[in-house]
Amino acid sequence: MAKEINPIERKISMVAAASEALTCKKKNPKLDSDRVIQHVSKNVLSGKDELTKMGMIAAASEALNIAERQPHLSDKEILRQVMGNLPGMLENIGS
């Protein structure tokens, strides 16, 4: 079992997962969101505690949803929105 990480590290991990999801989707535009999340799960979740893993998946999903709803936004703008939503995401997953 992975050791629990502090809240700042958890948020950084969540933003990293969101960024990875956006990068994967750009490189593979035909992939659906589920496959992108699978990619994120395989590549960035190892060694994280369960709460962080859930947060990372939530952040990646949120980034993909924002990108789909607002395709004119840059990755930086999407990540800024994701960062603004982190407290709510963490509250929803039981932090």
- The pLDDT tens digits of the residues spanning 29-72 come to 999 999 999 999 888 877 788 888 999 999 999 999 999 999 99
Determine, yes or no, domain membership for 69.
yes
Structural domain span for residue 49: 7-92
Residue-level pLDDT at 65? 97
Residue-level pLDDT at 2? 58
The span from the CA of 24 to the CA of 30, in Å, is: 10
| Average pLDDT value over all residues in the chain | 91
The span from the CA of 57 to the CA of 34, in Å, is: 11
Residue-level pLDDT at 4? 66
Q: Per the structure, how many domains does the chain have? A: 1
Determine, yes or no, domain membership for 2.
no
Place of tokens 């963490």: 90
